[in-house]
Amino acid sequence: MRIGILTGGGDVPGLNPSIKAVVERVADGGHSVVGIRRGWAGLLNANLADPASMEEHFVDLTPASVRTVDRTGGTFLHTSRTNPARVSREDFPAFLGDPPEGDGPFDATDHVLRVLEAKQIDVLIPIGGDDTLSYGLRMHEEGVPVIAIPKTMDNDVHGTDYCIGFSTAVTRGVEFIHNLRTSTGSHERIAIVELFGRYSGET
């Protein structure tokens, strides 16, 4: 079995450790992992007729190649906020020809499915938040087996208790506010702090 893994949306410190854990566990089961660079954009922009393009957007992952990736934050596979079901005219790959009539957005899912078939990817593991995982749902609806790993500082992915990135958002936010109180108190002022987290009420 060949498993594809990608990261989408914002970066958080837990992404590289997550990728490493997946690669090691999959290897233990006798299967292989291919990393998809730049999230869903990697599948969208992979030109099947151009070997250099395919090499640019995919990388085979082994326990040896990911041995030290958990020592740094972010994602070594890189990330994007691309959603192949909603591609703007400006972002529509030129090698696919002219996009359909209209202003868009355009759905390039058929191309994504062709790329997955060409790379012989049997299972997809997207790591991301609402938008990244919403396209993971689209892949599931198209018949692609998907195992989603929730990642968002908002901690608001439906059906989950904890998302990668939430703990860091809270601890860094608390640290920042504690430090800010020192300066605010020294100058006898009131500070207003706005945190990320949308409307989840978690952060």
Active site residues: 154
**How, if at all, do strands 58-61 and 32-36 pair?**
antiparallel
Q: What count of other Cβ atoms lies within 10 Å of the Cβ of residue 34?
A: 16
Nearest Cα to Cα of residue 146 among 116, 106, 166: 116
- DSSP three-state, residue 53: helix
- 138 Cβ contact list (under 8 Å, min separation 6): 85, 109
Instruction: Answer whether 68's CB lies under 8 Å from 53's CB.
Output: no
Instruction: Answer whether 60's CB lies under 8 Å from 32's CB.
Output: yes
Q: What count of other Cβ atoms lies within 10 Å of the Cβ of residue 72?
A: 12
